[in-house]
Homo-oligomer: A and B are copies of this chain.
Amino acid sequence: MSAASVSSSIVNANENSNNRTDDSDKNKMSSVKKKRDVNTNSGNDTIIKVKSVIPRRRQELLKWWGWGYKDSKFEVVDQAARFTGDRYLIGGKTLPHFAPWVVQNLNIDLSKLPKTTPLPTSYPDSRLPSNVREELEKIALVSVDGMDRLIRAHGQTLSDMAQLRSNSFPRIPDAVIWPECHEDVVKIVALATRHQFVIIPFGGGTSVSGSITCPAREPRPIVALDTSEMNSILWIDRDQLLARVQTGIVGQDLEREMRARGLTVGHEPDSYEFSTLGGWVATRASGMKKNTYGNIEDLIVQTKTVTPTGVLEKSCRVPRISCGPEWEHVVMGSEGCFGVVTEVTIKVRPLPPVTRYGSLVFPAWERGVAFEREVAEKRLQPSSIRLMDNDQFRFGLALKFESSWGGVILDGLKHLYITRIKGFDPAKLCVVTLLFEGEAEEVTEREKTINAIAAKYGGVPAGATNGERGYTFTFVIAYIRDLALDYSVVAESFETSVPWDRALALCAAVKRRVRAECERRGVRHYHISCRLTQTYDAGCCIYFYFGFNSSSFKDPVAMYEKIEEAARDEIIDCGGSISHHHGVGKLRKKWYKDTVSEPGRRLLLAAKQTLDPDNIFALGNMAFGEDQHEEAIVKSKL
């Protein structure tokens, strides 16, 4: 659909995209329609059927064995690193500084052949009974193909990747189903209750909490419910600046469609090329531009969730309500454990006339943090404002390509100016990247104000190009881990939120703890760095990158997890949180109860018992045990 065809202010669609509508469906549709007449605009019935960048057979475009596009990866040829493909700024470029950096920091022997991941030759048999499969096939497309199932058995944790590379998942889904609409999901969930199989909703597969990993001991068949065919935009209301969207839509698809119409959702988590709207809701996602567009809880007006005991949905799409506890905030963060979020009404904004990048260099981390704090205190944050520490800055420099690429930040001249003339210590300086959006005048004004505040803390502007590179670097850095694993480096990022007064102490303590843990365990070559990615009135989000050369260790993943656990303990002791936006899943269950208190844990179990008493959505996240299903069965027999 071209932009021209949506020139009317309302692009409305009440029609169901599912062409398998039977009579009972029609009745349901007409009642839905009646309700929607109240809750949405009337208008023409034109669904926007979005053609996703990512095909239904994801493995045709995406790596089955790692992150992102097949054609885009870091590789080492003759001990020189390069990035393949032409999708990203560094695509097709040689990275002369990369090899020296990894040798020095991680003691990698790049002359060794990388470990490649062999295509699996066998997969676990599907346990889905054929009669159930036949019933499912009446609702939507089903696959029991091994690779289709394998690539939906995991998210993107280190453990996921290690098991994927060794084809050693104890359990993978027994089938994949692709519903096309809310009504399909209702039928699938009803079938799951009848035949007692487990459903795991699968969106973009970018979870980093283990939330979609199949519980190993689940005795029932597991069906991965892939939301990717539920990716239509049901209506756009340009006057109300709202859109009703199916939740399987991928971030980049949603944004592309909106931009073609002069609009933007503006929600850009680091994963947004691949992650989905439904995934954002389920994990309580945060986007890089949250200062302008808000986090997911600020964007969502209404959600619709299919649970085994009914459809949870507020009846009106009002901007704010006082109607007792707000169940939307239970759906947001539900991590797939209560049901499937099928549709969402989300805010959109007009595309900003001006987008401008910026960057600033500070003499030291503490100064950078104090600058970020003042900007937040005055509520002057531009769309994005992020601060890298010195180690992360230097890691970024290692990705500098040939002469034209300034790494993350700082081309030669500026580097000279800052280090020689301003006297910044290259081993201490840190870097802020900025993204301004808005009217031209407003952007110019804001940039001036920000620069003035920066000056108070010794900050020096370092140019728009460096800012843009730093910002887009986010998308490329996710590709590095696959190369790391090829050379026995285990690596992952982890994040937290923390009150402002604890931020510096937390960063220092976590780094100290990671170093101490490494020392204690004989880890000699490692990288630990951090950045401050989001700021608020009362605190900020801190991201840590940690990786080490594990070639001499027997179980590198377990060792990594032990160190990360120690780091998280340290975070909690310092007043930080279990997670700012990655969620709990299975990886952070240890800290769930203490975070929400015992009554909070019991509220979670009560919500589960209410919405999903048979534990159809048996993901085992947060406070739910793998044995929950068995316990429930035992209890029901008493």
Contact = CB atoms under 8 A, between A and B. Distances in A.
This chain's copy number in the assembly? 2
Interface string A312-354: 1111111111111111111111110000000000010000000
Interface string A278-307: 000001111000000001010001000101
Contacts of A540: 319
Contacts of A534: 320
B324 A580 contact: no
A597 B307 CA distance: 12
Contact of A322 (B283, B537, B600, B603): B283
Interface string A574-598: 1111111111100000001011111
A578 B313 CA distance: 15
Interface string A465-497: 000000000000000000000000000000011
A240 B582 CA distance: 25
Contact of A241 (B241, B377, B497, B577): B377
A618 B576 CA distance: 37
A326 B322 contact: no
A310 B597 contact: yes
Interface in A90-138: none
Interface string A605-616: 111011100000
A494 B232 CA distance: 38
Interface stretch (A174-182, A382-390, A498-506): A498-506
A241 B499 CA distance: 11
A41 interface: yes
A581 to B, nearest CB: 5
Nearest to A602: B610
A604 B577 CA distance: 27
Nearest to A285: B322
A534 B581 CA distance: 30
A242 interface: yes
B536 A320 contact: yes
A606 B610 contact: yes
Given A240-B499, A575-B39, A538 B301 contact: yes
Nearest to A534: B320
B599 A611 contact: yes
Contacts of A581: 320, 322
A239 interface: yes
A610 B237 CA distance: 41
A458 interface: no
Which of the listed residues A285, A318, A324, A605 has the most CB atoms from chain B within 10 Å of its own CB? A324
A275 to B, nearest CB: 14
Nearest to A329: B329
A627 interface: no
B318 A577 contact: yes
B39 A323 contact: no
Contacts of A41: 501
A622 interface: yes
B497 A319 contact: yes
A330, A332, A573, A576: residue with the most chain B Cβ atoms closer than 10 Å:
A330
Contacts of A240: 499-501, 538
Interface in A423-470: none
The CB with the most chain B CB atoms within 10 A, among A377, A579, A602, A604, is that of A602
Contacts of A497: 318-321
Given A499-B319, A538-B242, A327 B577 contact: no
Interface in A522-581: 534, 536-541, 572-581
A315 B537 contact: no
Contacts of A500: 239-240
- Going nearest first, the 3 A-B pairs with the smallest beta carbon separation are A319-B536, A329-B329, A319-B539
Given A320-B541, A325-B333, 4 more contacts: A297-B326, A310-B597, A322-B333, A324-B604
13 contacts: A241-B377, A311-B599, A318-B539, A318-B580, A319-B497, A321-B578, A322-B582, A323-B592, A324-B622, A327-B603, A599-B610, A603-B611, A606-B607
